[in-house]
Chains A and B, each alone.
Chain A
Amino acid sequence: MPRIAGVDIPDKKKIRYALRYIFGIGPKFADDILSEADIDTDRRSGELTDQEVSQIASIIDSGYIIEGALRRQVQQHIQRLKDIRSYRGERHRRGLPVRGQRTRCNARTRKGKRKTVAGKKGVRGH
């Protein structure tokens, strides 16, 4: 089982797809890395030699932001929006959709589980 970039241990899959298990590496970067390392994209990641694995690791190290560093970077960008008190930052702070989606209904991904308000419907006495 090859270990690339710390904890990621993709195995048995083609290296092209296995690399995507690393946070920050998607279809494009996976292909970019493999062409730079001159490794056939269809080979299984378990079949790679130690040397090839370390070659991939060094390429990732030199030119790609992944895993913890990337997560931190994303957090920093969000923190920046909050710090300058922009509309987007305010939405992040409140846990509401940031990009102008409707919130009258849906938006459950951001808002989390429904918080039912008892007696909201029909109880109002006129």
Chain B
Amino acid sequence: MSRSLKKGPFVDEKLYRKVQRLNVANQHVPVKTWARACTIVPEFVGHTFQVHNGKIFTDVFCTEDMVGHKLGEFSPTRLFRGHSNKKEGIRKS
């Protein structure tokens, strides 16, 4: 179910203030963040975020197209390296 329109998009308060400060200072430095649930708002465009995926920080450069998506969508939490082939599987066990 989608979020109530009344509330508006969820934007991490602290992250938003930080980006606003950067915008005022006209700076573009990567911002480390754990706020994966934070929606990307137009103010974020052009900034690089380092979004935590539980292990490492993934670099996410925000473009116009990403507005409306969440930061977490661009920092995958799972890594699938493919299935082991038969021989390898036996050797392992």
Contact = CB atoms under 8 A, between A and B. Distances in A.
Contacts of B89: 124
Interface string A80-99: 10011111101000000000
B90 A123 contact: yes
B90 A84 contact: no
5 A-B pairs with least C-beta separation = A86-B73, A87-B73, A84-B65, A124-B93, A84-B66
Interface of A is mostly: loop
A86 B76 CA distance: 9
29 contacts: A80-B65, A83-B65, A84-B63, A84-B65, A84-B66, A84-B69, A84-B74, A85-B74, A86-B66, A86-B69, A86-B73, A86-B74, A87-B73, A87-B74, A87-B76, A88-B73, A90-B76, A117-B83, A117-B86, A118-B86, A119-B86, A120-B86, A123-B90, A124-B89, A124-B90, A124-B93, A125-B90, A125-B93, A126-B93
Interface of A: 80, 83-88, 90, 117-120, 123-126
Contacts of A123: 86, 90
A118 B89 CA distance: 12
A36 B13 CA distance: 47
A83 B89 CA distance: 35
A120 B90 CA distance: 10
Contacts of B66: 84, 86
Contacts of A87: 72-74, 76
Contacts of B72: 87
Nearest to B83: A117
Nearest to B77: A87
Contacts of A125: 90, 93
Contacts of B73: 86-88
A84 B45 CA distance: 13
A118 B73 CA distance: 35
